[in-house]
Amino acid sequence: MDFENADYVISTDPARLDLAFLCRMLNTTYWAQDRPRPVIEESLRHSLCFGLYRKVTSEQVGFARVVTDQATVSWVCDVVIDEHFRGQGLGKWLMSCVVSHPHVRGTTSLLGTRDAHGLYEKFGYQRSEGMRRLRDGTGSQGTGTAAPGPTA
């Protein structure tokens, strides 16, 4: 699926993604600064990805990733715009395309941000507290030991 304006195109075609750009951009963020390239590659394979490209050069200048079951829930993550292209409304346009996509539009959509609440609130996101489980099985605190299972 493609979205176009006068100078840019947003595409969900995974073949268009520029992996070097994505690794470079994600490694400059507070949330993915230590994410290795193989993990980035694997995350792309299992996500709905939105690449933002200049029409004239096909250069990738932005990105958003959505993890979704396409019916009930979606998680918007890894939203980035190259610093040289910020201030043009591209982040707003990118998010507009993300939330209007048929695999996202009808879902309960989640995201986390430390610094862009104002942007996401424009698209209906509300600040809330949630819970999380980290990849190593622990929460933000705790021992990581498993709770006893049900008894027979």
For the stretch 93-148, pLDDT in tens is 999 999 999 999 999 888 888 888 878 888 778 888 776 666 665 555 444 444 44
Q: How far apart are CA 78 and CA 111, in angstroms?
A: 10
Question: Which of residues 110 and 49 earns the better pLDDT score?
Answer: 49
141 lies in a domain?
Answer: no
147 lies in a domain?
Answer: no
Whose CA is closest to 68, among 126, 95, 107?
107
Spatial strand order of the sheet with 2-4 comes to 2-4, 8-11, 48-54, 60-68, 73-81, 108-111
Q: How far apart are CA 51 and CA 17, in angstroms?
A: 6
83 lies in a domain?
Answer: yes
45 lies in a domain?
Answer: yes
The yes-or-no verdict on residue 55 having pLDDT over 90 is yes
Share of the chain above pLDDT 70, in %: 85
8 lies in a domain?
Answer: yes
Q: Which CATH number does the domain housing residue 109 bear?
A: 3.40.630.30
The yes-or-no verdict on residue 21 having pLDDT over 60 is yes
Cβ count within 10 A of residue 70? 14
What is the reported pLDDT for 147? 43
Q: Which of 46-50, 117-121, 147-151 is the most confident on average?
A: 46-50
137 lies in a domain?
Answer: no
CA-based angle 83:1:27, to the nearest 5?
30
Mean pLDDT for 42-62 is: 96
51 lies in a domain?
Answer: yes
Q: What is the pTM of this model?
A: 0.84
Domains: count for the chain: 1
Q: Is 80 left (phi over 0), alpha (psi -120 to 50) or beta?
A: beta
104 lies in a domain?
Answer: yes
- The number of residues making up the chain comes to 152
Mean pLDDT for 11-23 is: 97
- Band of residue 64 on the pLDDT scale cut at 50, 70, 90: very high
What is the reported pLDDT for 114? 83
Whose CA is closest to 9, among 61, 56, 58, 53?
53
Angstrom CA distances, 147 to 29, 35, 46, 133, 140, stand at 34, 29, 29, 14, 16
Mean pLDDT for 80-104 is: 95
Domain range enclosing 97: 2-121
Question: Which residue has 């941000």 as its token pair?
Answer: 113
